[in-house]
Structure 1
């Protein structure tokens, strides 16, 4: 006889995980507080700050993980109540609704943590007791205006508050996908600050930390959501756990590799035991390996027996979450634990600003002679290429030409960002513009011709809650109809181009921060992809305009593309002049001349992708015309050419009269 199970509330479990992370973060940081204060050269602000700041940071990370995991659960781990097979407007199940509200409450908690962290950070950097800072009249404005970390927490609080507000009202499936993206974005400002974002190699440090933090949120948060689902005896636990198992394996590997890269930048292997920072890294690595062992046990023992003994999975997963919380608490202390002295104490201004040195300008002849692998978009491109090849092998008769286009697009991202051209992007306006044009106009053309959504639809079975259904629903969504409507598609593509260079302070802000480079590259790729997908993409877009209409839109847009290049060639104000001068480049470039070269690149290179686009559109126009002619001929044969016979009879009667 099967054991009768009782429904258990999830909130005590959530609270325990958050408290474990907070207590461990606060206790570990408190044990190093003397060394930290000595390094900073500030007085002791008191235990509410020295313990409370890392404790709240650990709690904030766990709340962010709970938000991400809950929205991941409601979006992709369990299906909604589907009307037919279209996910557009599909209402959430009871369990999906509970998970979504949990994500909203977790986001609200993160927003509250962000607000409290503003005075905590000011107390920490000034040495003033927290009580004095909270009740001082100008303390809050001082923190927001002058302390970067306080500004970051304010941004986190604002984004998390928006996600929370939307999460409380969302009750259908598609908003869960948007909320998941928003929950990840909410914590990203923290990934772009701290030890990883300073000193030499900080481009590697920041990008590796983005990977590390993102997959920590996914791994920890989704498991918390699954444990809660099991405690309330929710349905579909087994397929959800199996889907999560693949995510968890990738997350573990991503965290392991990114953690090794990030740690290697900060400290040498032989110095691990010489500094408190190294001991925290060792403890964190041990915890991560222990989690890997628990994950292996899940895959070998509890998941195969899940249908017979779901309690075994829930019990082990709950223990795993507590270990995750402890590791998260340790990770949260690294931002406060003093790192070892820099490997190179004599950093140049280029290393401080960009993370590495450059010895000579980029030219057509030396473009491929210097390489520095880019850890964010290049890794994404490689993963997308591998996934595409995996799916292509599952689809019989998949067109080789589409695979070639896709691989060329992914390869172009890697080559562009990891070669000397990508390395010079922050240092020279001409290199920046070359990268911009490649990412926004070259790469998207190649990628859309790969027809990735058509491949996903062909690789997965119909009628199931899987990537095929997600893709089909996306292609029928209101969002896609709006963003691919020709006027909207053109406006969004042009807006990001013009806004970046017409608003001079915006360009200087974006080019001088690593976060700005990440945002710009992402916008270039996504905006360009939607624009060219509407024009020439083989992937289906419902109610897409005929090829001749899209060809007309291309002719309309071409002068708009080229005008920006002409404007930049005539502009006599150097964009981001202070930043470029601060780099102290050894070849002492003429900034205005280099900017005019960048304008020429924008004017000239923008035409090359349009040649491919024009060729594809013209070919589609011919195919449409032939198809229309063939349809007319077919109808004529079916009706014995009745229309043509009546026309001839009319002419004959006219001649007789």
Structure 2
């Protein structure tokens, strides 16, 4: 069955790309490398995307669409649960698919070299030529990174039988496509920041949508249990996916071409064909919700309608995937502004005004990644609060205010003049660095989002864990316990916070490409959230150390902060000098003076660290911030290991704490 899907995707991709071969080669100015490359490259690229989708969908299925093996239905041991037989089959499928995707990624290295040089494929298979490809061809380097991530994910998946590892494998299967999302037409030219961000949203939800359905279809064919639950959960994912893909696809197309180009250029025709395919798939989604899900719920043993609809739907998905990958080999229409400035080419947009403390708030360019993420986080949190109150529980406005402050700060920081000037001016970059890694994490962590989810959703029915149980298992997992250990947590924060400035070539590499800037900002935000969560987050973690211990590690890290500040102040080398000078900013900027000004921004990092310290002091026994008694005990042992900390939950209507009401209400909803 899978081979049929791969064949359809590859045949459509290879045929469409080959039919546009003449125009593509003429535009690129390279000779024809032969049919092995001109047909093989899009063929294997399409097959690769289907394999990536199958891997992500299978790990998604094993983690969240089907229940693991839980003797007696005991959700308290979910973090220690092993996979059921069907979960194991899905996980093994995901691992094999990831390994196959990694092998195709390795094959793409000589294919890419053959394609960009016009050399027949057979002549690019030698070790020497492959070394040249990896050293000199950017796409070959990207495919090598993809191969490494995919092979590590696949091999790890083959060795893992625990349920708790499946979300991590799902993350790995998504990470292995991210490098591809950071390259291509969307990553170059004007507005390439918007193009890249919209493309990333598009690809992530594409693999979840396509891969989830393939995993469901395989489960239905082998007559696995609980298809009705899995289908209902997947239906929600599919609905969200098609909305995100439609919006991100429209944004990406609007950046690349004019409306008049849709029917007059081959690139536009591909977009039209892809759009029609997505609309057809939307109709299939409606059929699932209107007919298939009710029939499966009414008679779980009768799966004929589901199999028939799903097989046709996956075939359409495969064809759409094949059409979509040909966009990478079809030259887009000429840019709207034919002669982009050096700044617009490197940043994706123009900066015309020197940033100051006041005028940065008047500059605005919505960030399609972090800005959209901020809005989604705010909407999701408020939805959970609404659900909490609908179920008769209470939720204080204090954590809600913290969370929304974090979302607003993220949105404003990345979409205002701060985010716009971060890639161009080192001092503004430093301001953004402090906000992303310290200020926003404090706001978000103090919003207690995990506790809110465990309050909004009741525990699942015995043997059928849901969001409540998944979150609770996450907070009890060994990996979280290791990451949030004061020693590990402090070290990871110090490494990500400082290493790029101490290792100058790394900073210059990251700042020179939009992909590097995106990775840097993401890592800073995630690292900061883990650091603050481990230090003072209201959400439970395994074996939380006493506040005195956590405060000790915080104080111990302060000298490092000061020493790096002194290092930057005395540094005569200009960080990223070549890149900053290449922007040709329309105002005078003394790079060395600006770098020393950045130390002032660095010094402001002491303020959020002081806030963390004060909040920790408020957790000491006998102080005004002592425990409210609402936090769930996550471990057993000494009082120090189980030390409670301030939470913001109000009392529930039944007098029980929201995170320990197992058995008082259950549900099998996702």
TM-score if structure 1 supplies the norm length? 0.92
1:399 correspondence with 2:399: no
Cα shift readout 1:445-469 (whole Å, capped 9, x = no counterpart): 1111101111011111124411111
Offset at residue 553 of structure 1 (A): 2.7
The question of whether the paired residues in 2 share the 8 Å contact of 1:564 and 1:602 is answered with no
Which residue does 2:600 correspond to in 1?
600
> Which of the numbers 109, 122, 141 marks the counterpart of 2:113?
122
Which residue does 1:620 correspond to in 2?
619
1:153 correspondence with 2:146: no
Offset at residue 311 of structure 1 (A): 1.6
Which residue does 2:458 correspond to in 1?
461
Offset at residue 551 of structure 1 (A): 2.6
Cα shift readout 1:329-368 (whole Å, capped 9, x = no counterpart): 0110000011100110110111111100101221111011
Q: Which SS does the other structure have where 1:318 is aligned?
A: helix
**1:499-538 alignment, distance < 5 Å:** 499-538=499-538
Offset at residue 622 of structure 1 (A): 5.0
Which residue does 2:82 correspond to in 1?
91
Q: Aligned partners of 1:467 and 1:567: how far apart in 2? A: 46
Which residue does 2:420 correspond to in 1?
423
Offset at residue 560 of structure 1 (A): 2.3
Q: Which SS does the other structure have where 1:334 is aligned?
A: helix
Which residue does 2:334 correspond to in 1?
341
Which residue does 1:590 correspond to in 2?
590
Q: Aligned partners of 1:78 and 1:43: how far apart in 2? A: 51
Which residue does 1:357 correspond to in 2?
350
Which residue does 1:8 correspond to in 2?
none
Offset at residue 550 of structure 1 (A): 2.5
The question of whether the paired residues in 2 share the 8 Å contact of 1:117 and 1:150 is answered with yes
**Which deviates the most, 264-273 or 403-412?**
264-273
Offset at residue 495 of structure 1 (A): 0.9
Offset at residue 547 of structure 1 (A): 2.2
Q: Which SS does the other structure have where 2:263 is aligned?
A: helix
Cα shift readout 1:576-622 (whole Å, capped 9, x = no counterpart): 1111111111113111111111122111x112212322332222225
Offset at residue 129 of structure 1 (A): 1.1
The question of whether the paired residues in 2 share the 8 Å contact of 1:566 and 1:600 is answered with no
TM-score if structure 2 supplies the norm length? 0.90
1:242 correspondence with 2:232: yes
Which residue does 2:491 correspond to in 1?
491
Cα shift readout 1:393-438 (whole Å, capped 9, x = no counterpart): 1223201010000000011100000001100011011111110000
Number of residue pairs matched by the alignment: 615
Offset at residue 138 of structure 1 (A): 2.3
Which residue does 1:54 correspond to in 2?
42
1:472 correspondence with 2:466: no
Offset at residue 382 of structure 1 (A): 1.0
Q: Aligned partners of 1:601 and 1:585: how far apart in 2? A: 21
Offset at residue 379 of structure 1 (A): 1.0
**Which deviates the most, 542-551 or 284-293?**
542-551
Which residue does 2:642 correspond to in 1?
none
Which residue does 1:43 correspond to in 2?
31
The question of whether the paired residues in 2 share the 8 Å contact of 1:197 and 1:203 is answered with yes
Q: Aligned partners of 2:178 and 2:198: how far apart in 1? A: 12
> Which of the numbers 353, 358, 368 marks the counterpart of 2:361?
368
> Which of the numbers 77, 86, 109 marks the counterpart of 2:65?
77
Q: Aligned partners of 1:588 and 1:615: how far apart in 2? A: 41
Q: Which SS does the other structure have where 2:328 is aligned?
A: coil
The question of whether the paired residues in 2 share the 8 Å contact of 1:547 and 1:624 is answered with no
Which residue does 1:384 correspond to in 2?
377
> Which of the numbers 58, 61, 65 marks the counterpart of 2:53?
65
Q: Which SS does the other structure have where 1:335 is aligned?
A: helix
Q: Aligned partners of 1:623 and 1:583: how far apart in 2? A: 56
**Which deviates the most, 78-87 or 385-394?**
78-87
Tell me, which stretches of 5 or more residues in structure 2 are unaligned? 630-670
Q: Aligned partners of 1:201 and 1:29: how far apart in 2? A: 26
Offset at residue 273 of structure 1 (A): 1.3
Bigger radius of gyration? 1
Which residue does 2:196 correspond to in 1?
206
Q: Aligned partners of 1:607 and 1:156: how far apart in 2? A: 38
Which residue does 2:649 correspond to in 1?
none
The question of whether the paired residues in 2 share the 8 Å contact of 1:107 and 1:161 is answered with yes
Q: Aligned partners of 2:127 and 2:89: how far apart in 1? A: 41
**Which deviates the most, 283-292 or 545-554?**
545-554
Q: Which SS does the other structure have where 1:305 is aligned?
A: helix
Q: Which SS does the other structure have where 1:273 is aligned?
A: coil
Offset at residue 92 of structure 1 (A): 0.5
1:448 correspondence with 2:445: yes
Which residue does 1:650 correspond to in 2?
none
Q: Which SS does the other structure have where 1:304 is aligned?
A: helix
Cα shift readout 1:520-567 (whole Å, capped 9, x = no counterpart): 111111111111112221111232122233233332222322332222
The question of whether the paired residues in 2 share the 8 Å contact of 1:66 and 1:220 is answered with yes
The question of whether the paired residues in 1 share the 8 Å contact of 2:489 and 2:534 is answered with yes
> Which of the numbers 254, 271, 289 marks the counterpart of 2:279?
289
Q: Aligned partners of 1:15 and 1:623: how far apart in 2? A: 66
Q: Aligned partners of 1:408 and 1:460: how far apart in 2? A: 24
Q: Aligned partners of 2:566 and 2:348: how far apart in 1? A: 33
